[in-house]
Amino acid sequence: MTLRHAVLGLLATAPGSGYDLLKRFETAMSSVWTATQSQLYGELGKLESADLIEVSAEGPRGRKEYAITDAGRSELRKWLLEEKPPAARRNEMLLRVYFLGEVTPEEARGFLSRHGAFAKGLVDELAALEASVDWDDSDPSLYGRLALEWGKRYAAMERDWAKWAAETIRAVRG
């Protein structure tokens, strides 16, 4: 039921059409949640039936602009504050690490080096992004900034961990 809340959250910030929301999923939200067009339009229909959103305006080309309702806003608040986020339960990278015993130590170190290089690139990318954004103190940018900081710390953690892991393999296995 998370896509539902992602849509509610986006519409709580500003009303928009399915097309608008899709753009927002592809850009601002892309590192946090994704949705395909078919999923999105389907979910908009369900949310409207449940009266959590409503059509607030109609425009050219059949455009339907949706806005969140009071019931929707209350559902969003409930999700934010009352439901505990389930711990992430899937990590494909780590799954591979578990099975690295199946390849040679050299290959395992190669895998970790590549991953470390990727994380390093991400750190630089996010630092550049941060530098390029004009941060004011408005709410949306505050919380976006917290999320960006999370990304930077995550990427730095993975970069350092991968380096450490490759060194550990070398120390233990040669």
Partner DNA sequence: GCTGGACATGTCAATAGTGGAAGGTAGGGT
Partner DNA sequence: ACCCTACCTTCCACTATTGACATGTCCAGC
Minimum Å gap between C-beta 75 and a copy of itself is 11
Vertex 71, ends 5 and 19: CA angle to 5°?
A: 50
Vertex 136, ends 135 and 140: CA angle to 5°?
A: 90
Strand runs labelled E in 59-167: 64-68
Which does residue 140 bind out of a copy of itself, DNA, none, counting CB within 5 to 8 angstroms by kind?
Answer: a copy of itself
| Angstrom distance (rounded) from CA 74 to CA 113 | 46
Give the residue, chosen from 27, 49, 60, 101, that forms a contact with DNA under the rule CB under 7 A: 60
Minimum Å gap between C-beta 20 and DNA is 6
| Angstrom distance (rounded) from CA 14 to CA 24 | 11
Which does residue 120 bind out of DNA, a copy of itself, none, counting CB within 5 to 8 angstroms by kind?
Answer: none
| 120 near a copy of itself (CB under 8 A) | no
| 49 near DNA (CB under 7 A) | no
Which amino acid appears at position 34 of this protein?
T
Which does residue 163 bind out of DNA, a copy of itself, none, counting CB within 5 to 8 angstroms by kind?
Answer: none
| 42 near DNA (CB under 7 A) | yes
| 174 near a copy of itself (CB under 8 A) | no
| Angstrom distance (rounded) from CA 146 to CA 144 | 5
143 to 13, 48, 109: CA distances (angstroms)? 12, 27, 37
- Pick 44 or 126: Cβ nearer DNA: 44
Contact 107, 173 (CB under 8 A): no
Binding site for a copy of itself (CB under 8 A): 2, 5-6, 9, 12-13, 29-34, 73, 76-77, 79-81, 84-103, 107-108, 110-111, 114-115, 137, 139-140, 142-147, 149-150, 153-154, 157-158, 160-161, 164-165, 168-169, 172-173
